[in-house]
Protein backbone atom coordinates (compact mmCIF):
# COMPACT_ATOMS: atom_id res chain seq x y z
CA UNK A 1 0.00 0.00 0.00
CA UNK A 2 1.45 3.36 -1.06
CA UNK A 3 0.85 6.85 0.30
CA UNK A 4 -0.24 9.32 -2.41
CA UNK A 5 -0.18 13.09 -1.93
CA UNK A 6 -1.54 15.49 -4.54
CA UNK A 7 0.93 18.37 -4.95
CA UNK A 8 -0.74 20.45 -7.67
CA UNK A 9 -2.77 20.42 -10.86
CA UNK A 10 -0.42 21.40 -13.68
CA UNK A 11 -3.16 21.69 -16.32
CA UNK A 12 -6.40 19.97 -17.32
CA UNK A 13 -4.52 16.81 -18.29
CA UNK A 14 -1.65 16.58 -15.75
CA UNK A 15 -1.49 16.24 -11.98
CA UNK A 16 1.73 16.31 -9.92
CA UNK A 17 1.70 13.88 -6.99
CA UNK A 18 4.08 12.09 -4.67
CA UNK A 19 4.06 8.32 -4.27
CA UNK A 20 5.71 7.43 -0.97
CA UNK A 21 7.66 10.70 -1.21
CA UNK A 22 8.78 10.32 -4.86
CA UNK A 23 7.37 12.72 -7.47
CA UNK A 24 5.16 11.45 -10.28
CA UNK A 25 2.87 12.82 -12.98
CA UNK A 26 -0.59 11.45 -13.62
CA UNK A 27 -1.45 12.26 -17.21
CA UNK A 28 -4.75 11.90 -19.10
CA UNK A 29 -4.98 11.78 -22.88
CA UNK A 30 -7.91 11.41 -25.23
CA UNK A 31 -5.67 11.28 -28.31
CA UNK A 32 -5.85 7.50 -28.70
CA UNK A 33 -8.70 5.16 -29.69
CA UNK A 34 -9.66 4.98 -26.00
CA UNK A 35 -8.97 7.68 -23.41
CA UNK A 36 -5.94 6.77 -21.30
CA UNK A 37 -4.70 7.87 -17.88
CA UNK A 38 -1.21 6.80 -16.80
CA UNK A 39 1.43 7.76 -14.25
CA UNK A 40 5.19 8.27 -14.73
CA UNK A 41 8.02 9.12 -12.31
CA UNK A 42 8.99 12.80 -12.61
CA UNK A 43 11.05 15.48 -10.92
CA UNK A 44 9.55 18.02 -8.49
CA UNK A 45 8.51 20.28 -11.39
CA UNK A 46 6.67 17.51 -13.24
CA UNK A 47 9.33 16.93 -15.90
CA UNK A 48 9.37 13.29 -17.01
CA UNK A 49 12.70 11.97 -18.28
CA UNK A 50 11.72 8.31 -18.70
CA UNK A 51 8.26 7.47 -20.00
CA UNK A 52 7.80 4.09 -18.34
CA UNK A 53 4.30 3.71 -16.90
CA UNK A 54 4.11 3.10 -13.17
CA UNK A 55 0.28 2.90 -13.11
CA UNK A 56 -2.80 3.37 -15.25
CA UNK A 57 -4.29 2.03 -18.46
CA UNK A 58 -6.74 2.85 -21.24
CA UNK A 59 -10.25 3.72 -20.04
CA UNK A 60 -9.05 4.63 -16.53
CA UNK A 61 -9.61 8.05 -14.96
CA UNK A 62 -7.35 9.97 -12.57
CA UNK A 63 -9.10 8.71 -9.44
CA UNK A 64 -8.76 5.10 -10.60
CA UNK A 65 -5.01 5.59 -11.18
CA UNK A 66 -4.65 7.08 -7.68
CA UNK A 67 -6.59 4.11 -6.27
CA UNK A 68 -4.33 1.68 -8.18
CA UNK A 69 -1.19 3.38 -6.83
CA UNK A 70 -2.59 3.45 -3.29
CA UNK A 71 -3.65 -0.18 -3.30
CA UNK A 72 -0.84 -1.83 -5.28
CA UNK A 73 1.99 0.73 -5.36
CA UNK A 74 3.92 1.65 -8.52
CA UNK A 75 4.76 -0.99 -11.11
CA UNK A 76 8.29 -2.32 -10.88
CA UNK A 77 10.42 -3.08 -13.95
pLDDT digits (tens, 9 = 90+) for 17-46: 999 999 999 999 988 788 999 999 999 999
SS3 67: helix
Distance CA 45, CA 12 (A): 16
- Dihedral pair phi/psi, residue 43, rounded to 5°: -90, -175
Q: What pLDDT was estimated at residue 33? A: 84
Q: What pLDDT was estimated at residue 77? A: 81
Q: What pLDDT was estimated at residue 54? A: 97
Residue 1 pLDDT exceeds 80? yes
Residue 69 pLDDT exceeds 80? yes
Amino acid sequence: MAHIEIIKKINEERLLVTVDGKHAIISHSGAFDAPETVAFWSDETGHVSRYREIAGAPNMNVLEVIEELTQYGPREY
